[in-house]
Structures are given as C-alpha cells and as structure tokens.
Amino acid sequence: MAIPVRYSVQSLRARRASMLAAGVGIALVVFVLAASRMLAEGIKKTLRSAGKPERALVLTNTAYAEGDSRLRQSVAGLVAAAPGVKRAADGAALVLGEAVLHVWFPSQRDERRVASVQIRGVTKDVFAVRREARVVEGRAAKPGTDEAMIGSALVGRHRGLALGQHFDIKKNRSLTVVGVFSSEGSAFESEIWADLDAVRSSFGYEGYLSSVTAELDSPARFAEFAATLERDKRQGLDATLEPAYYDKVSENLSSMMGGLGDIVALIVSFGAMLGATITMHGAMSRRRREIGVLRALGFRGHVLLAAFILETGAVALAGAAAGGLVASLTVFTDFSTNNFATGQELTFCFEPSFLILAGSVLAGTLVGVIGGFIPALSAARTNPVRAMRA
C-alpha cells in the first residue's frame, strides 16, 4: 500500500501544539549552528579583506602581528629600495612606514566597559597605497597635526570617537576627529588613523615603526622582494603578502567562535533530539488505537514507519527553515570582540552563505528525524489486536 500521506497531514493538524514545541527546539539548533558559522565567516572576511595580493607587509621576524613588531625607521628605506616595489608617477616608491599601537576607550553605552582600539600612525601617502580606503565624512587628517580619522565601524561605539570630537592619547595630548573613512568593510574600519609623528611622540616610539607596507609591481615579484630583505640576518626582517598575514591573524579567533558555536549547537541538538523523541513517543501512545486500525486495514509496518518519519521530517524541516530564516536576519546586525592575535577590538558583521544556511537546515532536519525514529519504529511494529483492545 502507498504511504497514508493524508492521514499524516491530519495527524499533524490535530497535534499542532506538541509539534510546534518540537519545531521550536529544532529552530534553535539551526539558529545557533548557522549564526556561529556566519560569525566565524564574518571575522575571516573582515580581516582578510584588509589584505591585497599586490601588497607585502614587513615585520620583525619574531613578531606574530604588527603590534608585536618594532623596526628602525631606516627599514622603510631598505623596503623602498627592494626589487619589485611599485613606484608612483613621480618615481616615489609606494611604501608606508607605520606605527601600530593601542588606546583604551570607554564604551559609549557603558563607561565601565573599556576596549582596546588600534591607532595607526600613518603618512600622507596612506590613501595612495591603500586605494580601497576613502573618506566618507569630513576630510582627511592633515600631516603634522593633531588630527585623526576614524574607521566607520567605530562611530558611536566609544566616547570621543565621532566627527568633531576629540580624545586623549596621553595626558595633555588629544587628537581631534576630522574625518570618517571606510575600507570595503575590512579590519581597517575598526582603527584610528593619525599622523605618524604625533602617534610616535605620544607613545615614546620615536625613530621606530611597527610595520612597513609596500605595493609590488606584481605578486609574482614577492619572492625576489622577500629574499632581498631577509638576506641580511642582522636586520631580522620577515616579509609576507598581506592576504597570508590576515589569514594568520584571523584563524584563531574565527576557529574559537565557530568552535564555541558548534559546542553550544551540539548541546542544544541533544535537547532538541530528546524533545523530538518525547513528543513523538507521546503522540504515538495517544494514537495507539488508530495505528492498530491501520495495521488491521493492511498497512504494513514499513509503510507506517515511512509515514511517521514523514511527519517527523516535515516538523523538523519547518522548524529548521524557521531557524535558518531567523539566522539570516543577523546580517542586519554587527558584533564586536577582541582579536587576541592583534589586541584590538574588531567590529564585523555576520556573513551568511547558501552553504552555511543549507547545511544548518539539513543538520537540524536530521536531528529531528533521528529523535523521532525510535518512537516511529516502535509504533510501526504495533500489534493490531493488542492496540485495539487497549
């Protein structure tokens, strides 16, 4: 006999409340799983989008991130003279020597909460090398002044970080925010950019740089560029292409976020699976006489099993789809956390994708089906005579 689909549909309608409870559990599983994966992808995208394949980053060979590196000012000249460095129309090498440090800011909403914001000391050529960055409000900071620009992700998050306001970077030394810049959603949008000498003199960093960034004629010239700089072991330099650097500093944070989300999703999955089992067991117990009648009418056990699995799968799929839909709405929110690799507070968005949502919905549906399988199997084996006598 064919699967009694009509009977299954009527059964779902008659037990809407219990099925809704099971569906909500499945929706929660999918939401947690999808949101954690989207969060991890958002971190990777924010950091990786800061790296361009034609740019190389030079640090000390003992540094993990820019904030750990300390180079002498003369290194900028060595990088500018290295082979493969691209030059502007006037013949100047497209090279940036920068100081990367951190300033603590209280939250705009809660003064008791403070965060480490990365401040980057830059030169007048910063927009010539980082062409993806552009001023979206106000104007660019003038070189040699106590002016600063802030990334668009910082606006409204911390006290003093808004257009026209000022903030202290040391006692009796403040910077005025004259512009807001964007950078294609990259990690730079979570930074403050100010004059290199103003930053270095405020932190006692005169004569030193954290990193030197060079634009290359082509990524293919990187090996020659790196070999030249790393040849002199006394300098202790290490060169890497920007995408490789940002992959490295994003990996731990994104893995941690994804891992924590997976653990929570696993715990919630057990709860949802148990809920589905209890719900289906209760439903089958109440339908014992109905199932006995179906068996007496000639419906074989495997046909009824398929019908019961169809019911459970429909509930699980509906709950999973709802969870995926809610998870996709997180794209309209942003999230901030400390990136332990760089020491800065990083603001990023959830990054949805078809694979993440589809995989999460599939996982949620399987959780529901597995949870309902044992009660369905037990019900499909019901003895019709005993069921109708009960």
What does the pLDDT look like over 218-251, one tens digit per residue? 999 999 999 999 988 888 999 999 999 988 888 7
Name the pTM for this structure.
Answer: 0.76
> Contact, 103 vs 119, CB < 8 A?
yes
pLDDT score of 212: 96
Q: What is the three-class DSSP state of 34? A: helix
Tokens of 368: 């529901």
Within 10 Å of residue 92's Cβ, how many Cβ atoms?
A: 11
Q: What is the mean pLDDT of residues 338-358?
A: 79
What percent of the chain clears pLDDT 70, i.e. is strictly above it? Answer: 84
Tokens of 182: 């964007």
Q: What are phi and psi of 201, to 5 degrees?
A: -70, -30
Q: Which residues of 353-374 are buried (b: 16+ CB within 10 A; e: fewer)?
A: eeebbebbbebbbbbbbebbbe
pLDDT score of 132: 93
Q: What are phi and psi of 298, to 5 degrees?
A: 110, 0
> Contact, 198 vs 121, CB < 8 A?
yes
Within 10 Å of residue 66's Cβ, how many Cβ atoms?
A: 23
List, for residues 29-71, the tens digit of each pLDDT value.
888 888 888 888 888 888 777 889 999 999 999 999 998 999 9
Amino acid letter, 344: Q
Report the DSSP beta bridge partners of residue 103: 117
